[in-house]
Amino acid sequence: MRTRLLAAAASLCLAAPASADTLRDAVAKDMPSLLTLYRDLHANPELSMQEVKSAAKLAAEAKRLGFQVTTGVGKTGVVAVMKNGPGPVVMLRADMDGLPVDEKTGLPYASKVRGTSRAGVETGIMHACGHDTHMTAWVGAARRLVAMKDQWSGTLVMIAQPGEETSEGAVAMLRDGLYTRFPKPQAVIGFHDSATLPAGVIGYSVGPALANVDSVDITVRGVGGHGAAPHTTKDPIVLGARIVSALQTLVSREINPLESAVVTVGSFHAGAKHNIISDEAKMLLTVRSYTPETRRILLDGIRRIARGEAIAAGIPEDRMPEVLIREAEYTPATFNTEALTGSTAALLTQRFGAERVKRVPPVMAGEDFSRFHLADKSIESLIFWVGGVPAPVWQKAAGDASKLPSLHSPFWAPDPEPTISTATEAMTAAALGVLAKK
């Protein structure tokens, strides 16, 4: 597989100037139609595992192009297969779900959709993570690859995945037979829009690209009582504060300084009145890392510190803190394999130029795209970034991403034309990098 990837990339790089013009021109001609689709998807987002209308739109497009299409995979997922002679199997993935966010972009096609979150809260719904650009470029790449069938040989599997934001969609599709009911890929490729790169700039990482993400609940138990008589209590707020402080030493003193890790206490709640010492405090943590070894150190350390601080505070054995690792919500780190990443980066650099294709550091966000490689580590895997920050916004911020709306922000509004056209061309080229005829 590695030899074929390198050979295909070399072949495409030699032919890139002419083929780049042809592909780029075709994408440009398709952009009015793709932007119409994008505005529709943006204005009509759906929450995780509820992407019925979005899936139907993508399935209809794939059927029109001649793919064999199966819907309802992993609840709302779409699998579209096109066999085009002998050769490798390549899978291109887009995710479909929006977020429970009230949109504040002011766009003429801004979402006004409302729904009910799993927490039972009525909320606005928005494509605040840019999955509408992912779906649109997925359609654009499908169109181009069908139009270029004479240039490649093998099998193309295109999937529209539900539930990325809740880290359950990829697992749901795999459990529903993604690799057994359909051709199993030798390579899986996806992209994500970026709120820290100028629109049309491509970023990639080699090896870890996104992090392990764990959600951890800590219930701290004390002995409640009157705020005027603290000596008669075991204050869970004081104990919880000690735990929060001690947790910081996991990263600063127990993790190799050359490794990356995050332990953030995102919520700390206890008590209901000024003069009552509660008997319980609850903390919600997000824990991030890149390797299984670092993840183990962090999670084991959280358990040890919670118990150790409780013992130091004199908490009885039957009132020890409860540490719950929410395994069902765990997202494993996303890994870009060396062969596919190297060959694709080379051909994209040849096609777009070095100023538009950059190696970037991994990020601590999570992506369940990781599941497709972890289900079978012989599968080559690559997810890359396509910048979405509009040029005037980037220039005003002088390239300082801290001054820009982030992904998941109600103000995130990628510049659709350069983002989608770049992603469509890049996804098409990446697939051809594996499938191109020798």
Tens of pLDDT, residues 75-114:
999 999 999 999 999 999 999 999 999 999 999 999 999 9
Buried b (16+ CB within 10 A) or exposed e, 20-53: beebbebbeebbeebbebbbebbbbbbbbbbbee
Angle value at C-alpha 384, between 378 and 386, nearest 5 degrees: 160
Dist CA 221 CA 278 (whole Å): 9
Q: What is the CATH number of domain 2-210+333-435?
A: 3.40.630.10
| End-to-end Cα distance, the chain | 14
Q: What is the CATH number of domain 212-329?
A: 3.30.70.360
Give me the residue label for tokens 């795999």.
174
Q: What is the pLDDT of residue 4?
A: 55
Contact 413, 199 (CB under 8 A): no
This model's pTM is above 0.85: yes
Contact 167, 327 (CB under 8 A): no
DSSP string, 355-382: GGEEE----S---TTHHHHHT-TTSEEE
Cα 107 → chain centroid: 24
Mean pLDDT of the chain, nearest integer? 95
Contact 214, 325 (CB under 8 A): yes
**Domain edges within the chain:** 2-210+333-435, 212-329
Q: How many CA atoms are closer than 13 Å to the CA of 280, on its beta-carbon side?
A: 6
Q: What is the pLDDT of residue 120?
A: 86
3-state DSSP assignment of residue 233:
coil
pLDDT band at 11 (very low <50, low <70, confident <90, very high): very low
Beta bridge partner(s), residue 99: 126
Dist CA 33 CA 122 (whole Å): 33
Tens of pLDDT, residues 386-404:
999 999 999 999 989 999 9
